[in-house]
Structures are given as structure tokens and as C-alpha cells.
Amino acid sequence: MSTIAETASRAQTRRRVRVDGWRWGGRIFLVFMLLYTAVPMIWMLITSIKSGFAATQFPPQWWPDEPTLASYQKLLDPQNSVGQDFLRFFWNSLFVSTATTILSVIVAVPAAYAFSRFSFPGRNFLFFTVLLRNMFPAVIFLVPLFILMRAIGLVNTHGSLILTYLTFGLPLAIWLLKGFYDNIPVQLEQAARIDGATRFQAFILIVMPLSTPGIIATAIYSFIGAWNEYIYAYTFLSKNEQLTLPVGIQRFFSENTTDFPGLMAASFMMSVPVVVLFLVLQRYFVRALTEGAVKH
Amino acid sequence: MTTVTGKAEVRRRLPPGRFGVLRKIWEHRADYAYVLPAIAVMLVVIAYPIYYTIELSFFKTPPGLQLRDKTFIGFGNYTAILTSDVFWRVTWNTVIWTIGSTFISFVLGFAAALALHRDFVGRGVLRAILIIPWVISAVAASYIWKWIYHSDFGIIGAVLVGLGLADRPPNFIDNVSTVLPSLIVVNIWREFPFAMIMMMAGLQTVPDQLLRAAEVDGANAWQRFWHVTFPHLRNVSTVTILLLAVANFNSFIIPWIMTGGGPSNASHIWITHIYELAFGRQRWGVASAYSVLLFLILMTLGYFYVRALSGNDRKEGSP
């Protein structure tokens, strides 16, 4: 008895010494990662409140002598042409991303449910086909899709983007949701059906509420993906009033490349909606990944 | 086998007839309605483009999208690609870009996940900050870093000069030998959080009892990690690495916006090169042939991806 206790306590002291080394290593590493992650973002913010003159000094002003919100005022003022463009791009991005998100959920939920619950012939084949979509770069699809969109009259419309974005959000959405449905006991639905609910009612009343975190995660993923997408928007849209933010900002600032405060302010405002959305809902996202993707 | 309802059970017990498959498809016809919207969208936006790309890769195409005037040249586009110097340069860049970004992102993300696994004050805030680069758009990230690397007013150059490590700010992205590593740093900045989230999720599935048992048996921290934690995370790691590799192989925005592939092709990777061939120089046939080659490489990676995923499933015992 006593020897066991002795060994255990010895193991514990030995452990404490070692773990402290690891823990300090971990702390130093985290500080390094924090700097790597945060410094670029902080520098973006500091630059965005400088004047064009203050930004182009060497050595740089670490904190601007005269902080100014002029860049933000210019971008958000509907009276001048810069502000008009920026606000229109912002609205376009919001519209395209929201529409994509709603459609993704509507299409992905039934598909994921079917992949989880039913065993119809070709189920595995179809499931992996859907997953394989993740493998292919946008560029492969650009030329044929451009021709296709032109044939069905969608070039230069937001419809072309929504239809395209739908497909690259879907694979992960279906995969995540399938994991969720796999973990919801079938017995719950069976009980509901014994009580006289139809399959559809059981789905809406029992399964849907239980999979809310998965649906929220799916929605965030689709929204962020659509908000940040660049290459299709860059190729499909040419009219200035149709552009979404990433392309709009690029077009805008390739014309006057020296306005770094303006560019940083625009980058910051483009990031705000998705960052806020993600921070508010991130626990759902991490949970969905744990339950959906990892545990399986 | 997932059992669904009593009715499905009865259906399945019927002896399969001569047209077993067709009959099964017919019996399950209602099930297809659920997947139909997803499949329909996929067919239009994926199957058709793939078919079209393969077809176009065998044709010589005139500039502009007047594709009616194309002429069949067999494998001409493919031989043209494989014998060009640019192809090998771009392929080498792509290999460095993909392996470098994937490996370092994974290691940093995994290490961050391990360091964040234990609870401490401010853990939630720190985790949130580390994830932000993954959420913001690659376009914004490219501009932020372009400004940081700026050859006259960049902050890194200023710090190096301030510390006396350089006489004047170095030129990171206009220099053939530093451009690719500089872009990889940007890519990792945006990508390590994904590995971190995946591995954090994975770490939660490692049973505590096992770790404690190993501890009692006298295993030190490294041994516990190597013999208990890591084997448990093998599947998540495989999936994460594959997803990262595919994403890196397919990346476009960061090199395109920061350098456009320059200087002298030093930062061109496959995707930016294909884009330039197609939309810049309007050589649709050659670009399509490139895409088909890319497709073949990705199918190989995809094979391992599906195997890793279905490996997960099989262990559960349900397909």
C-alpha cells in the first residue's frame, strides 16, 4: 500500500517539474502567436486614423501625431462619390451573402438529413461527390461557368454569384449537419411518430430544434464564405454598381494606390461584419465542428 | 446500417428480385427528394464545367470567347505545357507554397490548440483573437500585409532599421528570392486558426481517464502526448492536413493581389498562372489543359481525403 502511494507521489513531483517547463513553453508560444496575429491588425487600425501625409513618413509615426477619422468619414459619406461607391458595395455584399446563407440552409438541411437517415442506393456515392466539390479550385469552373451564366442571362447579376456561392458552402454544410443528425437518436423521432406525427412533423418539431447549433454554424460558414469571395465576383461582374466589397475595394484602390489610410479603413470596415458575427456565434461553430466533424 | 422506421425494416426484408437495384431505387424514390436540390445545383455548377474544361483542353482556341472557331489539336496543349520552362518554375513554386503553408500552419495551429487546452484567465479572449485572421477576407489580409511589407513605409522594414539590423528597409515582395516566403507568412497568418479550431475540437474527444492512467503509470508530458493524445487525433490530423493542403494548392487571392505572380514569375503558383493564361492572355485551350492536369492531381489527393473520411465512418460501424 505504502509503496504505491510513494510511487504515485514521486511521480507527481516529477511531473510538476516537467509540466512547468512545458507550461512556460506554451505561454511563450502563445505570446508569440498573439503578436503575429494582432500586430498586423493593430497596424491596420493605426494607419487608418492617419492622414495620407502621416502614413508616408520614415521612420513611421508609431502613433499618429494628429489622429483623424477623415478616411472613415470619406467612406461613409453618401454625399461624395467615394462614399456612394463604398456604401453600394457594402449593400451588394450584404444582399448576396444573406441570400446565399438562406438558400444554403434550405438546401443543406434536407440533404444532410437524408444522408444521415436513409439508405437509398447511391447514397455513399452521392455523399462523397458532394464532399469532393471541396477539392476543386474556382479557376477550373470559371470559364465554363462564365459561358453558362452568359447563356442563361445571369452575367452581371447577383444571381450568378448566389448560385455559385451556394455550391461551395454546401459540402461543408452538409457534412457538418450530417454529423449532427447522426448524433440525434432515431428513437426520438420514432416516439413522435408513434404519437401520430408525420415524418415531416417529426423532422420540423424534433430534429430541427436539436440541430440548431449545426444550422447556425452552417449559416455562419456560408455567410463568411460569400462575404469574402473574390474570384467569381471579379470575373462575373463588370458594372461598377454591382460590385461586392472585395472586388470593389480592389478596383477602387488600384486607381489611387497611395491612399493607404483609406485602404486600411476600407479593409477594416469590410472585416467588421464577419468578425463580429463570428465572435458572437463562435461557440456554436466550435461545438458544431466537435460534434459534426470530429466525433462523427 | 441506420435503422429508420418499422416500415423501412419490412421493405428491406423483401427478397431482391431480378431488378433488385431498380426496385430498391423505386422503393426509395421519396428519399431522393431530400437530396435532389443539392444534387441539381451541384450538377449544373460542377459536372457541366468539368466536362466543358476537358473538351476545351483538346482545342486550339482563338482569343476572346468566340469559341465556335476552335480547332481540334489532340494533345497539343498538353505537350506545349510540359515542355515549357514556366511550367516547371510554377510547379516548383506551387510545391513549396503548398507544403510550406500546410506544414507550418498545422504545426502552429496544433501547438496553439495544445497551449489553449488548459484553462487559464483570458483563454476565451485569446482564442477569439487568434481566430480573427481566419475570418477576415483574404483581400483585406493581402492589403494589410502589402502595407506591412511596403518597401518605403513598411513597419517591418522600419523595425529592422531601428534595431540596426538593416541599413535601409529591405524589399520583401519585389525580390525574387524573398517573395515566396513572404507570401507564405501571410498565408499561414490566415490559415493556422483553422488548424487550431479543428485540433481544439479533436482534443476535446481525448478521454481524460486515459491521460490520468498514463500519468499514474509515470508517463511524462511528452510521453502522454505522443502515446495517448496524438494517436487519438490521427484521424482529425489527417483530415485537417488534407483540407489545408487542398486549400493551399487552390489558393489564389493572396499571390494575385499582393504580387500578381511577379517578379518574373517568382510567386506564380498554378492557379494564378492558369488565371493569367485564361483571362489575361485569353489562351483558353492551354488554360483548360492546365486545369485538367490540376484536376488529376486533386483527384489523387481526393482519394486519400475520402479514404480518411470513410475510415472515420467505418470505425463507428455505420456507413
Tally of structural domains, chain B: 1
b/e map A192-210, b = 16+ CB within 10 Å? bbeeebeeeebbeebbeee
| Least-confidence region, from A78-82, A221-225, B23-27, B49-53 | B23-27
Residue B222 lies in a domain: yes
Average pLDDT over every residue of A258-287:
86
Q: How far is the C-alpha of B37 from the C-alpha of A125, rounded, in Å?
A: 16
DSSP B68: G
At position B310, the amino acid (one-letter code) is S
- Model pTM? 0.82
pLDDT score of B6 more than 50: no
Q: How far apart are CA A112 and CA B40, in angstroms?
A: 15
Grid cell locating A213: 447549433
Extract the C-alpha cell encoding B280: 489575361
Residue of chain A nearest B242, judged by CA positions: A135
User: What is the C-alpha end-to-end distance of chain B, expressed in Å?
Assistant: 6
Are B48 and A144 in contact by the 8 Å Cβ rule? The answer is yes
**A139, A164, A170 ranked by CB distance to B274: nearest:** A139
Q: Which chain B residue has the Cα nearest residue A279? A: B128
pLDDT in tens, A126-135: 667 666 666 6
Are A117 and B145 a contacting pair at CB < 8 A? no
The reply to whether A263 touches chain B by the CB within 8 Å rule is yes
User: Interface pTM (ipTM) of the complex?
Assistant: 0.82
- Which three cell numbers, joined as nine digits, stand for A188? 426520438
Q: From the CA of A71, how many Å to the nearest CA of chain B?
A: 16
Question: Is B299 inside a domain boundary?
Answer: yes
Q: How far apart are alpha carbons A16 and A18 in whole angstroms?
A: 6
- Which of residues A129 and A233 earns the better pLDDT score? A233
Residues of B in contact with A144 (CB under 8 A): 48-49, 52-53, 56
Domain that holds residue B305: 85-139+177-316
CATH number at residue B122: 1.10.3720.10
Closest alpha carbon to A259 in A50, A8, A12, A31? A50
For B72, the 3-state DSSP assignment is strand
pLDDT of residue B64: 64
Does A196 lie at the interface with B, CB-CB under 8 angstroms? no
Cβ contact A263–B147 (<8 Å): yes
The grid cell for A248 is: 470593389
Which of B144, B218, B275 minimises the CB distance to A267? B144
pLDDT score at B9: 46
A23 touches chain B (CB under 8 A): yes
Q: Rounded to whole angstroms, how far apart are CA atoms B187 and B180? A: 10
- Structure confidence by residue, pLDDT tens digits, B82-101: 888 889 999 999 999 999 99
Q: Using CB atoms, pick whichever of A139, A167, A279 lies closest to residue B42.
A: A167
Residues in A touching B115 (Cβ below 8 Å) = 26-27, 29-30
Least Cα separation, residue A79 to chain B (angstroms): 25
Percent of chain A predicted with pLDDT > 70: 85
Whether B103 is covered by a domain: the verdict is: yes
